Amino acid sequence: MKANYKKYTLNFKVPSGTSRGIMTQKETWFLILKDNGSFGIGECGILRGLSADDRPDYEEKLAWTCENIQLGKDKLLAELKVFPSIQFGVEQAFLSLSSQDAFELFPSDFTKAEAPIPINGLIWMGDERYMLQQLEQKLKDGFGCIKMKIGAIDFDKELSILRSIRNNFSPKEIELRVDANGAFSPEEAMGKLEQLANFQLHSIEQPIKTGQWDKMALLCEKTTLPIALDEELIGIFDVTEKQKLLQTIRPQFIILKPSLVGGIKGSGEWIALAEKQNIRWWITSALESNIGLNAIAQFTYTLKTTMPQGLGTGSLFTNNINSPLEVSGGQLFYRQENVWDMELIEEICT
């Protein structure tokens, strides 16, 4: 078996804003395995400034992984404990190599019968006009669940957008989620949560910055608006520490990005621990290309959850890899008539 890796830069169609800044590009890495005429591919999706493995030795570790591929998946995953995105790439690549179809990692009705996964429509930060334009388009596209990034523009304007949605759509018609990306200070957070709760939102992601377990625990205990932990899970590798975090904070939800929490194995650990404490969860992509998104979607379908997932990022880039993945009517499908761009994939694999 031989392994190599290749860097690939994804270009956003439209600059996309979060409370951490505006993104125009997103780098990612592909791990390619070749063995006896077969190939496997996995994506190591890193988010600069957010991923736990955003380190100067990242590419060095990718090279080490390729040089030591004969160790096999399990030993590699153990050695890559603090490199969750490479762990996920390794899992994908080995699944891809061993599959009859290199892109069907988890055969199911999702891949074979076009059974859909419900997803949320994502509204990026921007000025009020831009956010309302996005909202209008998502509603036209048939989304019943909308996720809105907040925390970068004036809070009153964000409340105004939410008010306009609720004036026209009840919670039964449109489920609303908001994501603060840690934008609120602990001192102001409870007051803002109370104002947001007036709009009967589904949840708010990460209202305050990570690492403030006691303050987050107090918010989760007192809030009338359910809180979902997102960034808070990043960098927690030990199962005992994961359990401690959940027992301390007791959130209403956790959000799992496989590239950030150790792939399939890491996500499974979080899910098992959360369910023991009656904490609900959902899975989202982390701006991967369609290679990584495909793996996340197929894995997610096997978990048989009915809650809308965060898997609608495949159309954000100008140079994504064409695939069977397609968003329609607020759901993600694996369309039989659509095909992978094998010319581009072969270019990546050489």
Global pTM reads 0.95
- Reported as a single tens digit per residue, the pLDDT across 147-172 is 998 887 789 988 998 998 888 889 99
Distance, in Å, from the CA atom of 37 to the CA atom of 332, rounded to the nearest integer, reads 32
73 carries an active-site annotation: no
Taking residues 50-73, report their average pLDDT. Answer: 97
C-beta separation of 75 from 61 below 8 A: no
CATH 3.20.20.120 in the chain: give the residue spans.
109-343
The helix or strand, by DSSP H or E, that contains position 29, with its residue range, turns out to be: strand 21-35
Confidence band for 124, pLDDT divided at 50, 70 and 90: confident
257 carries an active-site annotation: yes
pLDDT at 321 over 90: yes
Confidence band for 17, pLDDT divided at 50, 70 and 90: low
pLDDT at 301 over 70: yes
pLDDT at 19 over 60: no
pLDDT at 20 over 70: no
Taking residues 72-85, report their average pLDDT. Answer: 97
- Greater confidence, 21 or 336? 336
Asked which of 121-125, 172-176, 199-203, 205-209 is least confident by mean pLDDT, the reply is 121-125
Residue % of the chain over a pLDDT of 90 = 83
CATH of 109-343, one of 3.30.70.980, 3.90.1150.10, 3.30.565.10, 3.20.20.120: 3.20.20.120
Taking residues 173-198, report their average pLDDT. Answer: 95
Taking residues 138-142, report their average pLDDT. Answer: 92
C-alpha to C-alpha distances, 227 to 43, 184, 216, 284, 287, nearest whole angstrom: 30, 13, 9, 16, 22
Map residue 169 onto helix, strand or coil. Answer: coil
Catalytic residue, chosen from 26, 147, 215, 257, is: 257
CATH architecture for segment(s) 2-101:
2-Layer Sandwich (3.30)
CATH 3.30.390.10 in the chain: give the residue spans.
2-101
DSSP designation for 237? -
Distance, in Å, from the CA atom of 47 to the CA atom of 52, rounded to the nearest integer, reads 9
The mean predicted confidence, pLDDT, of the chain is 94
pLDDT at 31 over 60: yes
Confidence band for 18, pLDDT divided at 50, 70 and 90: low
Distance, in Å, from the CA atom of 294 to the CA atom of 334, rounded to the nearest integer, reads 9
Map residue 229 onto helix, strand or coil. Answer: strand
Confidence band for 93, pLDDT divided at 50, 70 and 90: very high
Catalytic residue, chosen from 26, 149, 215, 242, is: 149
pLDDT at 77 over 60: yes
Asked which of 56-70, 87-101, 141-155 is least confident by mean pLDDT, the reply is 141-155
- Reported as a single tens digit per residue, the pLDDT across 269-289 is 999 999 999 999 999 999 999
The helix or strand, by DSSP H or E, that contains position 259, with its residue range, turns out to be: helix 258-261
